[in-house]
């Protein structure tokens, strides 16, 4: 370098060198900053992905636990019949345990499906009237397990 020989470089050379040095440093800092920003964005994306996977796994676990605890899934019509049989569509707490219907009615197949599920019990006709159904202990248990889901 010129300084090594005791000579002063011209001022414009010093300014150019200083400016070039500052520009190089600024470029290096900018490049490093951009690289860090890219890493941060990648880490945030990976973190969000992990949170989404955790959330999906947790939802699946909750659903599995619900299905294990209460594997029966009723249609809206079936749930209506169970609630109506106990009078829960109108008054709390239950004040009855019967549902009267007969062949040809829209509720007849629903009631028989609930009998097959063990939630209703079929009874013979009383005095020539239509057959009737009552909620079984399993039906009561189902309603208690599903209480948060009931459209009361």
The domain that contains 88 carries what CATH number?
A: 1.10.10
**Residue 76 and residue 66: Cα distance in Å, rounded?**
18
Whether pLDDT at 50 is above 80: no
Q: Which of 69, 92, 108 is the last residue before a domain boundary?
A: 69
Q: Which of 69, 97, 113 is the last residue before a domain boundary?
A: 69
For residues 15-38, average pLDDT: 83
For the chain, the maximum distance between any two Cα atoms, rounded to a whole number of angstroms, is: 128
Q: Same domain, yes or no, for 126 and 64? A: no
Split into its structural domains, the chain has a count of: 2
pTM metric for this prediction? 0.49
DSSP string covering the chain:
--GGGTPPPPHHHHHHHHHHHHHHHHHHHHHHHHHHHHHHHHHHHHHHHHHHHHHHHHHHHHHHHHHHH------HHHHHHHHHHTTTTTSSS-----EE--TTSTTHHHHHHHHHTTSEEEE--STTS--EEEE-HHHHHHHHHTGGG---
Q: Same domain, yes or no, for 94 and 138? A: yes
Q: Which residue has the higher pLDDT, 130 or 13?
A: 130
Contact between 102 and 110 under an 8 Å Cβ cutoff? The reply is: no
Instruction: Tell me the residue range of the domain where 91 lies.
Output: 76-149
List pLDDT tens digits, range 64-94: 665 666 667 788 888 888 888 888 766 666 6
Whether pLDDT at 6 is above 90: no
Q: Same domain, yes or no, for 49 and 112? A: no
Q: Same domain, yes or no, for 47 and 82? A: no
């Amino acid at each position: 370098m010129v300084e090594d020989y005791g000579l002063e470089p011209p001022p414009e050379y010093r300014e150019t060198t200083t400016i070039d040095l500052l520009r190089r440093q600024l470029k290096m800092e900018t490049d490093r900053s951009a690289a860090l920003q890219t890493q941060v964005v990648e880490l945030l994306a990976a973190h969000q992905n992990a949170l989404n996977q955790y959330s999906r796994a947790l939802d699946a676990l909750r659903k599995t636990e619900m299905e294990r605890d209460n594997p029966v899934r009723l249609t809206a019509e079936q749930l209506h019949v169970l609630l109506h049989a106990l009078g829960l569509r109108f008054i709390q707490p239950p004040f009855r345990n019967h549902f009267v219907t007969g062949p040809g009615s829209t509720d007849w197949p629903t009631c028989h499906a609930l009998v097959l599920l063990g939630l209703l019990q079929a009874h013979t006709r009383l005095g020539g009237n239509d057959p009737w159904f009552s909620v079984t202990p399993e039906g009561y248990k189902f309603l208690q397990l599903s209480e948060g889901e009931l459209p009361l």
